[in-house]
Amino acid sequence: MAGTNGEESALTLEDFRLVVAPLIEYLQRSNGDSSVKKEHYGNGERRSNLILSDVVDDNGSQYVDLVQEGGGVHGIALAGYTYVLEKMGVSFMKMAGTSAGAINTLLLSAVNTKAEILKLQECVKQPVNTPTDVWNDALKYHPFSVKAEDYYETRSEKLLKYLCEKKLSDLVDGHIMWRKLLLHLFQNTVNVKSVKDYLTKMKVWSLIALAAFGLLIVSASGLVFITCNQDLYCCDNWIEKLFKWVAAISVAVIFFSISYLLGQFLVGRLLYRNAERFGINPGKDFEDWLTKIMEENGIKNVSHLKNKLQLERNCFNPAYYPSKIKYDSKNLPVETEPFVNAIEIAKQDIEVAKVRADDASFRTKDDILDEMTDKLVALSKKIKPEQRGRKDLAANLLEGFQEIIAAKARMDTERDIVANNQQQPEDLENSAEIEQSHDEETKSSFDKEIAIVSSDITNGIKVEFPAMHKMYWGEDFDISPARYVRASMSVHFFFKPFEVDYVTAQKAVIEKEWKCLLNIDKRLQEKDTHALMVDGGMLSNFPVNIFYNPSSPVPIKPTVGIKLEFEDDATSNTIDTMGKLVGSMISTMRYFYDRDFISKHNIFKKTIRSIDTGQINWLNFNLSDEDKIELFFRGALTAAIFLVNNDDLQKRAKDIQYLVKCGTALSFRGKKINIYPDQKCEFRTEDYSTEEVSFNWNNYKIDRVLFIGEAITTKNRLKRKASFGKKPDNTVDVNPNQPPKK
Give yes or no: residues 223 and 354 share one domain.
no
Is 354 found in the same domain as 325? Answer: yes
Classify residue 482: in a domain, yes or no.
no
Q: Give the residue numbers spanning the domain of 396.
A: 319-444
Number of domains in the chain: 3
Residue 148 in any domain: the answer is yes
Domain boundary among 275, 310, 341: 275
Burial class (CB in 10 A: 0-12, 13-18, 19+), 511: middle
In a domain, 37, yes or no: yes
Confidence at residue 728, expressed as pLDDT on a 0 to 100 scale? 45
Mark the ranges of the chain whose per-residue pLDDT is less than 50: 1-8, 35, 145, 189-191, 274, 421-443, 713-720, 722-742
In a domain, 474, yes or no: no
Q: Is the domain of 195 the same as that of 116?
A: no
Report the pLDDT value the prediction gives residue 232, as an integer from 0 to 100: 59
Task: Please indicate, yes or no, whether residues 266 and 400 belong to a single structural domain of this protein.
Answer: no
Helices 75-87 and 100-110 cross at an angle (nearest 10°) of: 40
Q: What is the pLDDT of residue 122?
A: 78
Decide the pairing of beta strands 279-281 and 493-495: parallel
Which among 390, 420, 444 is the end of a domain? 444
Q: Tell me if 515 is assigned to some domain.
A: no
Helix (H/G/I), strand (E/B), else coil: 151: coil
On whether both 329 and 365 belong to a single domain, the answer is yes
Among residues 704, 540, 682, 717, which one has the least CA distance to residue 607?
704
Residues 325 and 224 in one domain: no
Residues 368 and 325 in one domain: yes
3-state secondary structure 430-446: CHHHHHHHCCHHHHHCC
**Residue count (the chain):** 742
Q: Would 394 be classed as within a structural domain?
A: yes
Boundary of a domain, candidates 275, 309, 331 = 275
Residue 347 domain-assigned (yes or no):
yes
Q: Which of 478, 487, 604, 490 is nearest to 543 (CA)?
A: 604
Rounded CA separation 333/316 (Å): 45
Give the per-residue pLDDT at 723: 47
Structure confidence at residue 447 (pLDDT): 87
Query: Is 380 a domain residue?
Result: yes
User: So what's the pLDDT on residue 239?
Assistant: 74
Instruction: Tell me the pairing of strands 498-501 and 493-495.
Output: unpaired
121 and 267 share a domain? no
Say if residue 195 is in the same domain as residue 324: no
Cα(411)–Cα(131) distance, integer angstroms? 18
- pLDDT, tens only, 572-606: 777 777 767 777 777 777 777 888 888 888 888 89
Examine the domain organization and report whether 196 and 146 are in the same domain: no
Say whether both 549 and 665 belong to one domain. Answer: yes
Residues 217 and 365 in one domain: no
